[in-house]
Structure 1
Amino acid sequence: MKAMKVEKKSRYSVPALEKGLDILESLASAQSPQSLTEMARRLERTPSELFRMLDALERRAYIARDPVSDGYHLTLRLYELAHTHSPVDQLLKAATIPMRELAETIRESCHLCVLSGAMLVVVAQAESPEPVRLSVEVGDRVLPLRTVSGRVLTAFLEDAEQERFLLNDATYMAMTKKECAEAAAELKQIRRDGYLMATSTRRTGLDASCLVGNPRVNVMAALGVPFLPGSANDGRERKLIPVIQQCAERITTALGLTAPLPRAQK
């Protein structure tokens, strides 16, 4: 099986930039405004090392001082920059090459889905190079709980949001008490694992889907792979979960996010 490259080693050292990024990341994780001394302690640097960088970041409006404590905190400048481009545009740019390489490696088509209101929407697809292959239509909209990818994304909604979502989902509201309990157990398991492999509800065969993005920052998509039924895939599907997860992690990293879940073992 063809291995996919995950990361490149850094070839250049840029100490000033690293220092500025360390400051921004430190302030992002802090619970309250940080003084120069507190930041220096957290970053294991001297105050004099950070002073000029803090001055530059404050001048460019990336950070500001709290009027009461005089400590530093992040402004909304980074948020403003991050929202200059559509999240879906960024997702597509990050996913195109990894998805193409995944389809080539596992010889199966793959697609990327997001939640849009009460529906699951297919936003991208990479087709298998095999002459006989499964395909989904980009732009296709389906009820989430009827698909593996939709259940993955539903699993990672915050608890209160997930409850509201389910109470407005036609599939869920049509379930019996027993089916609702089974669905709840499945969603909890998906949240632990970060993926789902299950029999497709729309055709014969298995579907797999892995989480892309990071629920903690509310940026999520699902990378789905529909497997062709038959002896060629008999038992092979589950062995490919780590490969699909690796692709999902590449997309997550390309978005500048941290993959929050461990990868399944082969």
Structure 2
Amino acid sequence: MSEEDDSDRYRAPALDKGLDILELLSGIDGGLTQAEIAKFLGRSPNEFYRMLDRLVRRGYVTRLEGDRYSLTLKLFGLAQLHAPVRRLASYATPLMRELAVTSKQANQLTVFDRGAAVVIAQQEAPDYWGISIRVGSHISLFNTGSGHVLLAFRSDEERALMIAESEKRAEDMAEPPDFSERLNQIRARGYEIMPSAQTAGVFNVSAPVLGPDGRAIAALTCPYIQLLNFPDAPGVDDARKMLVATAQKLSELAGADVIHSSVQRQA
């Protein structure tokens, strides 16, 4: 039996059809109608109705206005939990530990996954006091420094998809007013600093870990608290500079050749 015959023997037509749709939509901006998908793939539109319905229900595809279908970021989120992200967490550990020691603050590393920011690594503060979040915790994109940074360093189209997934995941959460302008400001200065929306007296300081394409693959965040029993502990601005410098080192490890000038300027 030839290799081609052997390949046909183990075909899964329904799976092939679903993968054809995902691969097609991955290269299209603005989505396609069911008829357009059928035309591109040389099939009847009726062949794709049930497959598109399942892909929408499973969260891989979203239906836009005008009956157009577009990819969500679910595949991206799944990829974030794959081996490269685990390697990033491994590479980050000694740098996060050094940051904790020099800043005297806890810090954590988060990635985007299906509508939320997910903590993949965290480092405790070196002394008695500090704020930390458990690895595996899912936190909001809208009211956390990590979420803001993960959104700020993506394209407008990617932001919209991430926000839509977040609103779908937590129906009681909605995009705040003037949110896009705030994200643009974060991108321009290279970091976020904001009072915690969850804990009084805490400031979230966050900076992006950038991939080779300049997009955020992770966010490094320090939940800063003022340490009254350590008068010589770094202030929030010094801690911010340390965190931005650490995020830049992680970006270089992740293969980012060009670090945004605003990050370098503020560091």
Asked if these proteins are the same fold (TM beyond 0.5), I'd say: yes
**Equivalent in the alignment of 1:169:** 166
Aligned partners of 1:197 and 1:238 also within 8 Å: no
- 2:177 is paired with a residue whose SS is helix
**Equivalent in the alignment of 2:186:** 190
Q: Provide the aligned length of Structure 1 versus Structure 2.
A: 180
**Equivalent in the alignment of 1:160:** 157
Residues 120-169 of structure 1 show CA distances to partners (whole Å, capped at 9, x for unaligned) of 10000111111112111000012211211111101112111212222343
Residues 220-256 of structure 1 show CA distances to partners (whole Å, capped at 9, x for unaligned) of 1000000124655999202322211111111122223
Q: Give matches, 1:14-29, under 5 Å.
A: none
- 1:221 is paired with a residue whose SS is strand
Change (3 A) 1:184 1:168: same
Give me the identity figure in percent: 27
| Off by >6 Å, runs of 4+ in structure 1 | none
Deviation at 1:258, TM superposition (A): 2.3
* In 2, Cα distance between equivalents of 1:187 and 1:142: 17
Q: Give matches, 1:84-163, under 5 Å.
A: 86-163=83-160
Aligned partners of 1:157 and 1:215 also within 8 Å: no
**Equivalent in the alignment of 2:235:** 236
* In 2, Cα distance between equivalents of 1:233 and 1:264: 25
- 2:97 is paired with a residue whose SS is helix
Aligned partners of 1:208 and 1:241 also within 8 Å: yes
Aligned partners of 2:248 and 2:259 also within 8 Å: no
Deviation at 1:174, TM superposition (A): 5.1
- Structure 1 vs Structure 2 CA RMSD: 2.8
Aligned partners of 1:133 and 1:228 also within 8 Å: yes
* In 2, Cα distance between equivalents of 1:259 and 1:97: 23
**Equivalent in the alignment of 1:203:** 199
TM-score of the superposed pair, with normalisation by structure 2:
0.60
Unaligned 5+ runs, structure 2: 1-79
TM-score of the superposed pair, with normalisation by structure 1:
0.60
1:220 paired residue among 195, 204, 217 = 217
**Equivalent in the alignment of 2:253:** 254
- 1:180 is paired with a residue whose SS is coil
Aligned partners of 2:212 and 2:255 also within 8 Å: no
* In 2, Cα distance between equivalents of 1:163 and 1:115: 14
Change (3 A) 1:114 1:174: closer
Aligned partners of 1:113 and 1:221 also within 8 Å: yes
**Equivalent in the alignment of 1:38:** none
What letter corresponds to residue 192 of structure 2 in structure 1? L
**Equivalent in the alignment of 1:43:** none
Residues 178-218 of structure 1 show CA distances to partners (whole Å, capped at 9, x for unaligned) of x422x111100111122100000110121100011237265
**Equivalent in the alignment of 1:245:** 244
- 1:144 is paired with a residue whose SS is coil
Deviation at 1:259, TM superposition (A): 4.6
Deviation at 1:92, TM superposition (A): 1.3
Residues 46-93 of structure 1 show CA distances to partners (whole Å, capped at 9, x for unaligned) of xxxxxxxxxxxxxxxxxxxxxxxxxxxxxxxxxxxxx9x712122112
* In 2, Cα distance between equivalents of 1:215 and 1:144: 23
Unaligned 5+ runs, structure 1: 1-82
